[in-house]
Amino acid sequence: MSDLLTCVGLERSFGDLKAVQGVSFSVAVGETYGLLGPNGAGKTTCISMIAGLLDPDAGEVTVAGQAMGPRASAAKNDVGLVPQELAIYPDLSARENLDFFARLYGLDTARRKRRVDEVLEVIGLTDRAGDRAGTYSGGMKRRLNIGIGMLHEPKLLILDEPTVGVDPQSRNAILESVETLATDGMGVLYTTHYMEEAERLCDRIGIIDQGTLVAEGTRRELVGMIGEQDVVRLKTVGDVQAAEAACAVVEGVSSTDVEEDTVVCLVDEAAPRLPALLAAVGATDADVSGVEVREPDIEDVFLHLTGKALRD
């Protein structure tokens, strides 16, 4: 049995809102799995159930062969959670925060001391270990937030959008440390709404929208789902909404979306369709000021599957 994590038919509602409806997937030992979805897709809700913070309304979570739930201490021991919102004491130092959680994870004294030092090194906070976390920069706090999750060397590390609100440099450092952990054999479940992160880190990606997993696979498999299609991006001047509406009805166009002043069209083949697209926009109040044709990526897959953009 090589599955580290299996989720079967997870469901969870908040009042009338079905936040998660029937999500099933699994993560193999040592695999990095990405949950990619827009705001409110249900990623955090899934993760809360997987980490045993929330009881699912239906479905089951198994971690390393053990059933997970709010009272499943043994299963929790195999999971390290890095919550989306910072969960650190700002009035304690990095070392004190790490030491505190190491105790909650039940590490014995010797291992605790060793791990705190090691983690400080990994997250690059050794120099500032004695300063209160409240005085750290946003990126440093994020790194501490992540460090706490890896203290007890869990089999599965869950990171919920760990790079939100982080400068590019810290972001890169975070991605690198996740890559290192994965190379060392730790299973990683990574949620994000940044396609680039999912593509860079993850062996497999699950696309989640409105509480359901709409597609799953490697990057190659996912892009393959939209077959031989091309992406045509028309930069426009004028009424971009009207331009989109005009493009949507052109033959061979399977879906359209607007990104700022650009109309994004998914078409069966770019070359023969371009004149019709340009003519369609020309017939509206808008003018085309630039054209770009490229191979589709995961963001386009999302557009194709859900009819909307991954990011608002």
Partner 1 sequence: MMGALRTVVQISRVELLRFLRERSNVFFVFVLPLALVVFIGLQFGGGMGTQLGAVAADDDAAASELVDRLDTAEGIEVVPIDDEDELRSLVSRGNLSGGVLIPDGYEDALRSGATFEIGFLGRPDATAQSLRTVVDAVVADQAAITGAASLAADATDQSVADLIDLAAQVREGMPGVTVSTEAVGGDELAQEFSALGQFDLGASSQLFLFVFLTSLASSAALIQTRQFGVATRMLSTPTRLPVILAGLAGGRFVVALFQALYIIVVTALGFGVDWGDPLATSVLVLLFCLVSTGAAMVLGSVFRNDSQASGAGVGLGLVLAVLGGSMIPLELFPAGMLVVARFTPHAWANTAMAEIVRRDGGIADVVMELTVLAGFAVVLLGVATFLLRRALTR
DSSP class of 287? E
Residue 90 or 227: which CB sits closer to partner 1? 90
Residue 108 or 312: which CB sits closer to partner 1? 108
Strand ordering across the sheet containing 156-160: 79-82, 156-160, 187-192, 32-36, 204-209, 212-217
DSSP class of 129? T
The minimum distance between CB 34 and partner 1, in angstroms, equals: 20
Distance CA 134, CA 241 (A): 45
Pairing of strands 32-36, 204-209: parallel
**Which of 6, 21, 32, 44 is close enough to bind ligand ATP by CB under 6 A?**
44
Which range, of 52-60, 169-177, 242-250, 279-287, touches partner 1 by CB under 8 A?
52-60
**Number of chain residues interacting with Mg ion (CB under 5 A):** 3
Which of partner 1, Mg ion, ligand ATP, none binds 170 (CB below 5-8 Å, type-dependent)?
Answer: none
- Residue 55 in the binding site for ligand ATP (CB under 6 A): no
**Which of 9, 40, 65, 90 is close enough to bind partner 1 by CB under 8 A?**
90
The minimum distance between CB 81 and Mg ion, in angstroms, equals: 13
**Which of 57, 96, 239, 261 is close enough to bind partner 1 by CB under 8 A?**
96
Which of Mg ion, ligand ATP, partner 1, none binds 42 (CB below 5-8 Å, type-dependent)?
Answer: ligand ATP
Residue 75 or 253: which CB sits closer to partner 1? 75
**Which of 43, 115, 142, 204 is close enough to bind ligand ATP by CB under 6 A?**
43
**Which of 101, 136, 190, 302 is close enough to bind partner 1 by CB under 8 A?**
101
Spatial contact of 170 and 124, defined as CB atoms under 8 Å apart: no
Render 29-92 in DSSP notation, one character per residue: TT-EEEEE--TTSSHHHHHHHHTTSS--SEEEEEETTEE-STT-HHHHHTEEEE-SS--S-TTS
Q: Which helix (H) or strand (E) holds 308?
A: none
Phi and psi (nearest 5°) for 241? -65, -40
- Residue 148 in the binding site for partner 1 (CB under 8 A): yes
- Residue 14 in the binding site for ligand ATP (CB under 6 A): yes
- Residue 45 in the binding site for ligand ATP (CB under 6 A): yes
- Residue 84 in the binding site for Mg ion (CB under 5 A): yes
Phi and psi (nearest 5°) for 154? -70, 160
Site string for partner 1, 269-298 (x = CB under 8 A): ------------------------------
* CA distance to 33, 219, 232, per residue, from 198 (Å): 8, 9, 23
Q: Nearest Cα to 58, choosing from 7, 16, 15, 17?
A: 7
Site string for ligand ATP, 184-213 (x = CB under 6 A): ---------x--------------------
Which of partner 1, ligand ATP, Mg ion, none binds 39 (CB below 5-8 Å, type-dependent)?
Answer: ligand ATP
* CA distance to 11, 161, 216, 305, 306, per residue, from 213 (Å): 12, 17, 7, 11, 11
CB neighbours (10 Å) of residue 56?
22
DSSP class of 290? E
- Residue 39 in the binding site for ligand ATP (CB under 6 A): yes
Phi and psi (nearest 5°) for 141? -60, -45
Q: Which residues bind partner 1 (CB under 8 A)?
A: 51-54, 70-71, 73-74, 76-77, 79, 81, 83, 85-92, 96, 100-101, 103-106, 148
List contacts with ligand ATP (CB under 6 A).
14, 17, 19, 37, 39-45, 84, 161, 193
